[in-house]
Amino acid sequence: MTHTDKLRVIIFRNQIEDNNLTYLSDISDEEIINLLNSTVIANSVDLNAIKITNLFGFIFIEKTERKERLAKDINKIINLSDSLTKTEKVLVKFGLTVGFKSKSWRTEMFRYINTPIALTKQSDGRKIISSIKFKEIFYFIYNLVNRGKANARLPKF
């Protein structure tokens, strides 16, 4: 277990006690890490959670060089999200909410076109996308979503 993981466990155990979550007090450190990793994406949709995560992330990073590298990485992520088209963003949301069941771009394109993901209103399905365009972006997005779900290193972009 890394130093960061140990720190995450300590902080989470303190929150378990503070919030009287007695049903979580007996779980192992490995189960806590798995639980924390599985909640990364779920917390990423909450704007306040993003702000708090970044604030305390910068507080815990003491070396100026690492802070600058983190700021540079955050700017890369912002630039990537700004450069994604609406269709690409919807495909990422599809991968996160519905999930990819295979690595086959053909299978996933069929599922993407026919499976609605709208949370607020009923939808008939996806807008039409060319198979060439879908194939071009699918593997990057598949990799991005899977690494995000595992709280692993982001792919290079």
What pLDDT, in 10s, does the model give residues 119-144?
666 655 556 788 999 999 999 999 99
- Which residues neighbour 115 within 8 Å (Cβ) at sequence distance 6 or greater? 94, 98, 125, 126
Q: What is the mean pLDDT of residues 97-109?
A: 93
Q: What would the pLDDT profile of 66-75 be if each residue is shown by its tens digit?
A: 999 999 999 9
For tokens 């607020």, the residue is 120
Q: Provide the residue ranges of all domains of the chain, joining segments of one domain with +.
A: 1-38, 47-83, 86-149
> Residue 109 pLDDT more than 60?
yes
What is the C-alpha to C-alpha distance for residues 142 and 149, in angstroms, rounded to an integer?
11
Long-range contacts of 145-149 (CB under 8 A, 24+ apart): 145/92, 145/95, 145/96, 145/100, 146/100, 148/40, 148/41, 148/44, 148/96, 149/38, 149/41, 149/96
Binned at pLDDT 50, 70 and 90, residue 155 comes out as confident
What is the C-alpha to C-alpha distance for residues 114 and 128, in angstroms, rounded to an integer?
10
What is the C-alpha to C-alpha distance for residues 95 and 100, in angstroms, rounded to an integer?
6
Question: What's the whole-number average pLDDT of the chain?
Answer: 89
The confidence score (pLDDT) of residue 156 equals 76
Q: What is the mean pLDDT of residues 86-109?
A: 92
